[in-house]
Amino acid sequence: MSKDQVVSESLSKDALLAKDRVHMWHHMSPYNPNPMIVTEASGAWVTDIDGNRFLDGMSGLWCVNIGYGRQELAEAAYEQLKQLAYFPLTQSHVPAIRLAEKVSEWLGGEYRVFFSNSGSEANEVAFKMARQYHHQNGESGRFKFISRHRAYHGNTMGALAATGQAVRKYKYEPLAPGFLHVSPPYCYRCPFGKTYGSCSLECAEVFDEVINWEGAQTVAAVIMEPTITGGGVIVPPQEYLSKVRQICDKYGVLLIIDEVICGFGRSGQKFGHQNFGIKPDIVTMAKGITSAYLPLSATAVRKEVADKFLDQGLDQHFRHVNTFGGNPAACALALRNLELLEEEQLIQRAEQLGTELRQKLAVLEDHPHVGDIRSFGFLCGIEMVENRTTKEPAVPDKVTRIIAECKKRGLIVGRNGDTVPGFNNILTLSPPFATADEDLDFIVRVLQEAFETIK
pLDDT in tens, 216-258: 999 999 999 999 999 999 999 999 999 999 999 999 999 999 9
> What's the domain count of the chain?
2
My answer on whether 222 and 284 are in the same domain is yes
State the pLDDT at residue 48: 97
Q: Rounded to whole angstroms, how far apart are CA atoms 299 and 119?
A: 9
My answer on whether 108 and 122 are in the same domain is yes
pLDDT in tens, 160-185: 999 999 999 999 999 999 999 999 99
My answer on whether 255 and 381 are in the same domain is no
Residue 6 lies in a domain: no
pLDDT band of 440, cuts 50, 70, 90: very high
State the pLDDT at residue 430: 98
pTM of the model: 0.96
Segment 25-29 shows an average pLDDT of: 92
My answer on whether 117 and 180 are in the same domain is yes
Q: Which residues pair with 222 in a beta bridge?
A: 146, 255
Report how far apart the first and last C-alpha atoms of the chain are (Å, whole number).
39
Q: Rounded to whole angstroms, how far apart are CA atoms 370 and 189?
A: 14
**Secondary structure of residue 261 in the 3-state scheme:** coil
My answer on whether 55 and 95 are in the same domain is no
State the pLDDT at residue 11: 65
Please list, in sequence order, all residues whose beta carbon lies within 8 angstroms of the beta carbon of residue 261, skipping any fewer than 6 positions away: 62, 63, 225, 229, 230, 287, 288, 379, 430
Per the CB < 8 A criterion, the answer to whether 201 and 237 are in contact is yes
Segment 287-295 shows an average pLDDT of: 98
Residue 24 lies in a domain: no
Q: Which residues pair with 335 in a beta bridge?
A: none
Residue 7 has pLDDT above 60, yes or no: no
Neighbours of 170 (CB within 10 A): 10
What is the DSSP code (8-state) at residue 321? -
My answer on whether 195 and 315 are in the same domain is yes
- Amino acid in the structure at residue 65: N
Segment 72-88 shows an average pLDDT of: 98
Per the CB < 8 A criterion, the answer to whether 33 and 60 are in contact is no
State the pLDDT at residue 424: 96
Residue 2 has pLDDT above 70, yes or no: no
End residue of a domain, out of 343, 372, 393: 343
Residue 392 lies in a domain: yes
Q: What phi, psi does 443 have (nearest 5°)?
A: -55, -50
Per the CB < 8 A criterion, the answer to whether 385 and 374 are in contact is no
Segment 18-24 shows an average pLDDT of: 95
Mean pLDDT of the chain: 96
Please tell me the chain's helix, strand, coil percentages from 3-state DSSP, rounded to the nearest 5: 40, 15, 40
Range of the domain at 358: 36-65+346-452
End residue of a domain, out of 276, 309, 343: 343
My answer on whether 280 and 338 are in the same domain is yes
State the pLDDT at residue 6: 44
Please list, in sequence order, all residues whose beta carbon lies within 8 angstroms of the beta carbon of residue 83, skipping any fewer than 6 positions away: 328
Taking CA 171 as the corner, what is the angle to CA 168 and CA 174, rounded to the nearest 5 degrees? 95
Per the CB < 8 A criterion, the answer to whether 302 and 111 are in contact is yes
State the pLDDT at residue 29: 87
Rg of the Cα atoms in the chain: 22
Percent of the chain clearing pLDDT 70 (strictly above)? 98
**Secondary structure of residue 371 in the 3-state scheme:** strand
Q: Rounded to whole angstroms, how far apart are CA atoms 451 and 455?
A: 7
My answer on whether 311 and 267 are in the same domain is yes
pLDDT band of 270, cuts 50, 70, 90: very high
Return the sign of the alpha-carbon dihedral for residues 407, 412, 415, 417: positive
My answer on whether 158 and 232 are in the same domain is yes
Q: Rounded to whole angstroms, how far apart are CA atoms 447 and 413?
A: 9
C-alpha to C-alpha distances, 207 to 146, 174, 182, 247, nearest whole angstrom: 8, 24, 7, 7
State the pLDDT at residue 313: 83
- Amino acid in the structure at residue 327: N
pLDDT in tens, 404-415: 999 999 999 999
Segment 123-130 shows an average pLDDT of: 98
My answer on whether 250 and 121 are in the same domain is yes
My answer on whether 280 and 407 are in the same domain is no
Q: Rounded to whole angstroms, how far apart are CA atoms 393 and 382?
A: 12
Q: Which CATH number fits the domain that encloses residue 93?
A: 3.40.640.10
pLDDT band of 215, cuts 50, 70, 90: very high
End residue of a domain, out of 284, 314, 343: 343
Residue 76 lies in a domain: yes
What is the DSSP code (8-state) at residue 362? G
Residue 5 lies in a domain: no
State the pLDDT at residue 455: 80
Taking CA 161 as the corner, what is the angle to CA 156 and CA 163, rounded to the nearest 5 degrees? 95
Residue 239 lies in a domain: yes
My answer on whether 192 and 107 are in the same domain is yes
Neighbours of 194 (CB within 10 A): 14
Residue 12 lies in a domain: no
Residue 28 lies in a domain: no
Q: What phi, psi does 337 have (nearest 5°)?
A: -60, -45
Of 289, 264, 280, 301, nearest to 99 by C-alpha is 289
